């Protein structure tokens, strides 16, 4: 309930002492619903009142939806040819950056990209010539809805819009070919780029405000959020609502986006929970925090907790065609702490000391030791896995492919992965096999276990393996190992260093570490065979590390 409380505030009625729900109606429905929505929860106990918030919030949202329905006239059901062309031109403008290669590439890659793009261009032109518009059917429906137009699927107007969007796709690929051929100033033929970005619909449409955007975004995303994600979004939502209030989404400028970043840089740590800031607006908190000398949000927190969420909201708005582009694209604050200084890898002498202590003083056996505490650090060391990825493995995630024992790192049920590149099939490192990992897996499978490490419970942040990670960090500290923030994630840095020491090709290393090439957004795991990965992984080692005392006899 904490995340919802940040969005829907409760206040105590001074006369009745009961908690009440209150929230201002959006400006676009003020003609029908002026002022605030106020409703008593009927409860004096705050926990009981919070339990009623979802029911009351649903009534609030229903009233707004009904008001907007009354305000909105029936949408138009047709387009002029000029409007269809203008919509296609708008689509071309918004999509063009994703079609152009801007990173440095080699000659061979340039030739391959040029060949592939020419083939796609020819196929699209042929489809246009055959009046086959299936590839743009979904885009046409989205574009029409975004312009406030309801076009019947079999109408001439929809047919015209699809034809214009096909032309836009052809021109996008022509522009991509021109860029690859060294002609970056290509201008499309037949698309009126100087026309209005979106044709004005003939029916009045409700204003798309920041408030409406946040409400729609939360409704779309909240069901898939963990409790931690919902709580993390609360302060972000508050800042956006207070800074932009009832502003229309499309009117937020790049300079205003940069201004919000400046506000974040001036906000105190835990601003929503500080008594000395209670009752203040976000700008007032900045001023009060400065006057009191309160500690400010760290650059890493601003980038990874606030701006990443703000960018996600506005990227969603672009996808849903609320706006053509995001004013928050690529915004971040300078972090003076170099990435390499944020967490140290383990040194080989430290690894030798570590893996001769605690649960690693003898080979694995079912003798009361925690399987997760024993195997998770070893998996992280030899595969660069994140703690949650290793701790959350199931018995079914260990198998065989092309004659090699493999790990399948993949999402399931309620478990997600940090990035889409994290999903991979990885040959099991030879050292893990020597340590008896496959025998351990076989025993778990025979016992009917589902999770590979049944003791990998969640921690305080509801993260799989959270308690294992916390106990491991305490064990490292007890050994007196020196290094910055040494912990489970340090193994990932150690593994990345080991791939460099093995002199693997950069893209091979990216495939094993499950990262993307800087500047390209492209991952390479799918382009390598299991045999190729196994051969490369076999070269990844830690010279001087001796684990022979853990080998199964």
The answer to whether residue 25 is domain-embedded is: yes
The answer to whether residue 343 is domain-embedded is: no
Which of 246, 142, 148, 250 lies closest to 205, judged by CA? Answer: 148
Query: 299 and 360 share a domain?
Result: no
Q: 18 pairs with which residues across the strands?
A: none
Number of CB atoms found within 10 A of residue 42's CB: 12
Calculate the alpha carbon distances from 535 to 262, 491, 504 in Å.
49, 21, 11
Which of 281, 327, 332 lies closest to 305, judged by CA? Answer: 332
Query: 166 and 301 share a domain?
Result: no
Which of 192, 202, 186, 234 lies closest to 9, judged by CA? Answer: 234
Query: 523 and 376 share a domain?
Result: yes
pTM of this structure: 0.43
Query: 396 and 542 share a domain?
Result: yes
Question: How many domains does the chain divide into?
Answer: 4
- What is the spatial distance between Cα 123 and Cα 134, in angstroms, rounded to a whole number? 13
The answer to whether residue 221 is domain-embedded is: yes
Out of 53, 72, 91, pick the residue that ends a domain.
Answer: 72
Query: 445 and 352 share a domain?
Result: yes
Please give the structure tokens belonging to residue 301: 């927190």
Structural domain for 434, as ranges: 348-550
The answer to whether residue 51 is domain-embedded is: yes
- What is the spatial distance between Cα 540 and Cα 542, in angstroms, rounded to a whole number? 7
Q: For tokens 């919509």, what's the residue? A: 87
Which of 87, 288, 248 lies closest to 168, judged by CA? Answer: 87
The answer to whether residue 515 is domain-embedded is: yes
Out of 306, 336, 366, pick the residue that ends a domain.
Answer: 336
Query: 298 and 245 share a domain?
Result: yes
Query: 47 and 86 share a domain?
Result: no
CATH code, 326: 1.10.150
Out of 19, 40, 72, pick the residue that ends a domain.
Answer: 72
Query: 386 and 525 share a domain?
Result: yes
Listed in sequence order, the residues at least 6 apart from 54 whose beta carbon sits closer than 8 Å to its beta carbon are 4
The answer to whether residue 193 is domain-embedded is: no
- What is the spatial distance between Cα 199 and Cα 179, in angstroms, rounded to a whole number? 29
Please give the structure tokens belonging to residue 439: 């025998």
Main-chain phi, psi angles of 411, to 5 degrees: -75, 155
Number of CB atoms found within 10 A of residue 316's CB: 16
Is residue 155 within 8 Å of 78, Cβ to Cβ?
yes
Query: 267 and 167 share a domain?
Result: no
**pLDDT 10s per residue in the chain (553 long)?**
333 333 567 888 878 888 888 888 887 777 678 888 888 888 888 888 887 777 787 778 878 877 777 666 545 667 777 888 888 888 888 778 877 888 888 888 888 888 888 988 888 888 888 888 888 887 788 778 777 777 888 888 888 888 888 888 888 888 888 888 888 788 887 676 665 554 444 444 556 889 888 888 888 777 667 666 778 888 999 999 988 877 888 888 888 899 999 999 999 998 988 899 988 888 899 999 988 988 899 888 898 889 988 998 999 998 888 888 899 988 888 776 545 446 788 999 999 999 999 999 999 998 888 899 999 999 999 999 988 889 889 999 999 998 999 999 887 765 667 666 678 889 999 999 999 999 999 999 999 999 898 877 654 445 677 788 888 999 998 998 888 778 888 998 899 888 888 887 777 888 888 875 433 334 444 567 889 899 999 999 999 999 999 997 7
The answer to whether residue 188 is domain-embedded is: no
| Count of positions (residues) in the chain | 553
């Amino acid at each position: 309930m904490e995340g919802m409380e940040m969005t829907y505030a409760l206040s105590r009625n001074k006369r009745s002492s009961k908690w009440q729900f209150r929230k201002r109606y959006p400006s676009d429905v003020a003609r029908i619903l002026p002022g605030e929505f106020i409703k008593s929860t009927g409860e004096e106990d705050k926990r009981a009142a919070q339990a009623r918030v979802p029911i009351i919030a649903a009534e609030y949202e229903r009233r707004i939806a009904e008001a907007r329905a009354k305000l909105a006239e029936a949408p138009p059901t047709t387009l002029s040819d000029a409007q269809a062309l203008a919509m296609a031109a708008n689509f071309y403008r918004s999509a063009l950056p994703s079609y152009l290669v801007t990173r440095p590439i080699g000659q061979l890659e340039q030739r391959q990209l040029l060949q592939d793009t020419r083939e796609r261009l020819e196929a699209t032109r042929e489809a246009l010539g055959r009046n086959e518009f299936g590839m743009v059917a979904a885009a046409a429906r989205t574009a029409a809805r975004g312009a406030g137009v309801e076009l019947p699927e079999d109408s001439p107007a929809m047919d015209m819009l699809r034809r214009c969007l096909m032309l836009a796709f052809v021109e996008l690929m022509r522009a991509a070919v021109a860029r690859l051929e060294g002609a970056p100033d290509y201008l499309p033929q037949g698309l009126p780029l100087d026309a209005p970005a979106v044709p004005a619909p003939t029916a009045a449409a409700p204003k798309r405000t920041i408030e409406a955007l946040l409400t729609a975004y939360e409704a779309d995303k909240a069901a898939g959020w963990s409790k931690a994600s919902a709580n993390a979004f609360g302060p972000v939502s508050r800042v956006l609502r207070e800074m932009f209030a009832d502003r229309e989404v499309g009117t937020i400028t790049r300079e205003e986006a940069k201004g919000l970043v400046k506000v974040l840089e001036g906000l105190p740590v835990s601003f929503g929970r500080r008594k000395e800031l209670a009752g203040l607006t976000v700008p007032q908190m900045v001023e009060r925090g400065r006057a009191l000398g309160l500690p400010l949000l760290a650059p890493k927190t601003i980038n990874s907790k606030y701006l990443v969420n703000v960018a996600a909201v506005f990227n969603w708005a672009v996808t849903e065609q609320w706006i053509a582009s995001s004013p928050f694209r690529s915004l971040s604050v300078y972090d003076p702490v170099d990435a390499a200084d944020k967490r140290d890898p383990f040194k080989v002498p430290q690894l030798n000391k570590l893996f001769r202590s605690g649960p690693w003083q003898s080979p694995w056996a079912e003798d009361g030791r925690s399987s997760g505490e024993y195997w998770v650090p070893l998996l992280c060391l030899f595969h660069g896995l994140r703690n949650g990825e290793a701790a959350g493995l199931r018995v079914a995630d260990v198998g065989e492919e092309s004659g090699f024992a493999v790990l399948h790192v993949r999402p399931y049920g309620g478990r997600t992965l940090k990035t889409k590149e994290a999903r991979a099939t990885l040959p099991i490192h030879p050292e893990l096999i020597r340590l008896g990992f496959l025998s351990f897996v076989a025993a778990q499978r025979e016992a009917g276990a589902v999770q590979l490490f049944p003791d990998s419970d969640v921690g305080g942040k509801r993260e799989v393996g959270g308690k294992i990670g916390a106990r491991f960090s305490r064990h490292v500290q007890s050994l007196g190992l020196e290094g910055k923030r040494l912990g489970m994630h340090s193994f990932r840095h150690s593994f990345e260093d080991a791939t460099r020491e093995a002199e693997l090709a950069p893209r091979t290393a990216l495939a094993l570490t499950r990262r993307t090439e800087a500047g390209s957004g492209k991952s390479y795991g799918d382009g390598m065979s299991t045999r190729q990965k196994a051969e490369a992984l076999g070269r990844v080692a830690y010279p001087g590390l001796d684990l022979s005392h853990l080998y199964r006899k």
